[in-house]
Structure 1
Amino acid sequence: MGQTAAADIATIGRISAVPAILQVISELTGLRFAAVARVSENTWTACAVLDRLGFGLQVGDELELISTLSDEIRQGRQSVVIDKASEDPLCRDQHTPRTCPFESYIAVPILRTDGRFFGTLCALDPDPVPLKSSTIPNTMESFARMLALQIEAEENLQRTEAEHKTTKLREQFIAVLGHDLRNPLFAISAGAEMLLRKLNDPANEQRAQHILTSARRATKLVDDVLDFARGSLGRGIPVTIEPCPDLGDALRHVIAEIQSIHPKRIIQSSIGDLSDMHCDRERVAQLLSNLLANAVVHGDPDGPVEVSAQAKEGHFVLSVKNQGLIAENALPHLFQPYSRPTGGTPQAGLGLGLYIASQIAQAHGGTLEVESTAPQGTTFTFSLPPRT
């Protein structure tokens, strides 16, 4: 039995009305065997059984489809009703009555609301019973429609519960990143900074500086994964929109920091009056840091990197331009997580920088776009509309 069949059996088992439906069908028709069956292209699988005949069929048992009439029902999507199989011209020579003797038989299709075939609601008995001339077929079809709705409702409930469990796992994952990883890294960084203040030996100073640099890089990687978890798996990257009169200073600090790491690169900046801006200062600085680091690492090493941040009538535009060129086939995937420029040179980081920058822009209600051409180079532009 496959995984899908087991899941369908479990779904039917969780519907409390099924035993009562089979009981009513048996008493209403006089047929002593009733079942809900899942029907695939090859097999008939019992999902629920009421057996007063001692057939021995149990939940989970399978029959080859050729040994049942369900293939005709699956293909025709119509009910099959037989009062006396031994005299029925369409049934008496078929394989089923000869291998599983019965005289009276009724089966109706269970169809999902989108038209997909699930299986059958069926009943049979070795004794003949007048079924065609009664209201029993209509009643069985009503039960089948009700059962189809119950199946889909139960499946939706299971998906909702699975999503709830997944949400709890996401929150636990974020908690592990936020506490169990970042706190030890903070302690390592603080210890390295303390050593640097006390050491006078150049060799040991170099080792302490290496520890500090590695700890800060590891912290940045953890922060990137944490933001990825919030942005892609959770409720988005959180931002606090408030007046930021010192936004310009924050952006200049980012530029100076990147410049100190890459002293040989030319970084030109034009930061306008941003004193009236409303945004999340730290997140916008993080966005610029990601864009600028990307430009320095992947842009033309001999060309300048240009940073511009301007606000006019409440409309904020931050752009980072370099002389590199992004392959056309890479552009549609550039803001996806773990996306990297193609090339043979290994790159540091997780490939989350541009994704996180795009999530920060989205959280602000803004946009992050990229344009890359051979004559103009590559420009990333973050636009934030005026506050309404």
Structure 2
Amino acid sequence: MPAVPGTALVTSSASTVLTVDPADVDSEIAIARDVAAIGRISAVPSLLKVICQNTGMGFAAVARVTDGTWTACAVEDTIQFGLKPGGQLKVETTLCSESRMARQPVVIDRASTDPVYFNHHTPRMYNIESYISVPIIHSNGEYFGNLCAIDPRPAVVSDARVVAMFTAFADLIARQLETEDRQERTETALQSERATAELREQFIAVLGHDLRNPLSSVGAAAELLVRRQTEPELVKLGNRLKASTRRMSGLIDDVLDLARVRLGSGMHLSIREADFLASALTDVIDEVRAANPRLDIRDDIAINGAVRCDQGRIQQVLSNLLGNAVTHGAPDSPITVRAAIEGDQLVLSVTNGGAPIPEDDLAKIFQPYWRPAHSKPGGGLGLGLYIASEIVAGHGGTLQVSSCASEGTCFMATLPVA
């Protein structure tokens, strides 16, 4: 512990101040951070005053103790000792180093007659008679430092109540430090999340505006080429461009939907009475048929009357499910679309033949960006089924999948109609 000015010092406190190695910058920063953390605990000054008042000792401190340094983090000094928060001592000149190694309190009522410490260098160096130091240990077992007090006069600090008070205060300081650390990490995480949210919003703006504008220009150019009926090659090129434009627009929509969901706003839905859902679903099927004339796509749409839903989003669910069936189904097996009102639910299913989905893959199939290992390059972003499941969930429904060699693969969406 430090020297006590005022009563025949053997060594001045200045002579024991530690000069930190300039190369150890990280250690200095960490210690400064710990000193600041103790300074933010408003109860510490009151605890140190209570210690001095209850023990009659003139100096009490919270110290950060490492292998090489003793650093005062907070001080109550009524004997003009002179050590301020941030002041450092060579740890080998203190008794806190012994408390640190043993993880036990060191308690001395009268050093000059103590059978263990009467000849110890620290009491003799600093003319200390009474001394108590209790380790501050985090709940995970990590050592922080010590809560200690000294005085050039004897004091009864070995009393069980005094030791219990120090132990309770040391534990309180450790818990408060942990709370401070959690709060600091939470604030850092919040700042990081805000920055990430801003980047996501910028990303959405880029997708929604900067990419759609040139894509619209490409689409317009494709439409002009398609009208050149006297030049078949240009018409063919125009149709290719239109198909690519539709595909790019779909990819942009998928990424926008994913970004909205991940930002916490959820899938945007506009639910209202849809009087023509059957024909809207038929339009989607006809579009896929036109794009894949060699496939056998069958439909059984039995929806009579209005259905309360977001019609455009339900079309998107069917489009995504059909796209998945076209990509992964067997080309020589039919794709069957069924839609019907069963009781108070709308049941929409898409079934395709081909190799069954492995059991391990079924658990991952609705995850974003997930694609089977055997998928062909350029087949999409792996967002279609995820977005379909989010749309169905937004309607309060469920999207399930079953797959076996005999029955094929079936995706079934079940949604409440009211």
Distance 1:252 1:96, change over 3 A: farther
> Where do residues 68-83 of structure 1 align in structure 2 (5 Å cutoff)?
68-73=98-103, 81-83=107-109
Distance 1:266 1:109, change over 3 A: same
Query: Which of 18, 33, 50 matches 2:75?
Result: 50
SS in 2 for 1:184: helix
Deviation at 1:319, TM superposition (A): 1.3
Query: Which of 336, 361, 364 matches 1:306?
Result: 336
Query: Which of 123, 132, 136 matches 2:158?
Result: 132
Q: State the partner residue of 1:183.
A: 209
Q: State the partner residue of 1:222.
A: 252
Deviation at 1:385, TM superposition (A): 3.8
Deviation at 1:150, TM superposition (A): 3.6
SS in 1 for 2:390: helix
Distance 1:327 1:145, change over 3 A: same
Distance 2:382 2:234 in 1: 33
Deviation at 1:340, TM superposition (A): 0.9
Distance 1:198 1:235, change over 3 A: closer
Deviation at 1:341, TM superposition (A): 0.8
Deviation at 1:209, TM superposition (A): 4.8
Q: State the partner residue of 2:41.
A: 15
- What is the root-mean-square deviation in Å for CA atoms of aligned residues? 4.2
Distance 1:203 1:364, change over 3 A: same
Distance 1:314 1:268 in 2: 25
SS in 1 for 2:363: helix
SS in 1 for 2:340: strand
Distance 1:245 1:181 in 2: 32
Task: Report whether the alignment pairs 1:353 with 2:384.
Answer: yes
Distance 1:118 1:293, change over 3 A: farther
Distance 1:178 1:154 in 2: 36
Q: State the partner residue of 2:21.
A: none
Query: Which of 250, 268, 273 matches 2:280?
Result: 250
Give the gaps of 5 or more residues in structure 1: none
Q: State the partner residue of 2:294.
A: 264
Q: State the partner residue of 2:59.
A: 32
Q: May I ask how many residue pairs the two structures share in their alignment?
A: 379
Q: State the partner residue of 2:147.
A: 122
Amino acid at match of 2:393: Q
Distance 1:161 1:15 in 2: 17
- Judge conservation of contact 2:70–2:88 (CA < 8 Å) in 1: yes
Q: Name whichever of 131-140 and 156-165 sits farther off.
A: 156-165
Q: State the partner residue of 2:401.
A: 370
SS in 2 for 1:237: coil
- Judge conservation of contact 1:231–1:237 (CA < 8 Å) in 2: yes
Distance 2:90 2:290 in 1: 71
Amino acid at match of 2:214: I
Q: State the partner residue of 2:374.
A: 343
CA deviation vs aligned residue, 1:139-181 (integer Å, no higher than 9, x gap): 3344345445544544454455445445544543443243322
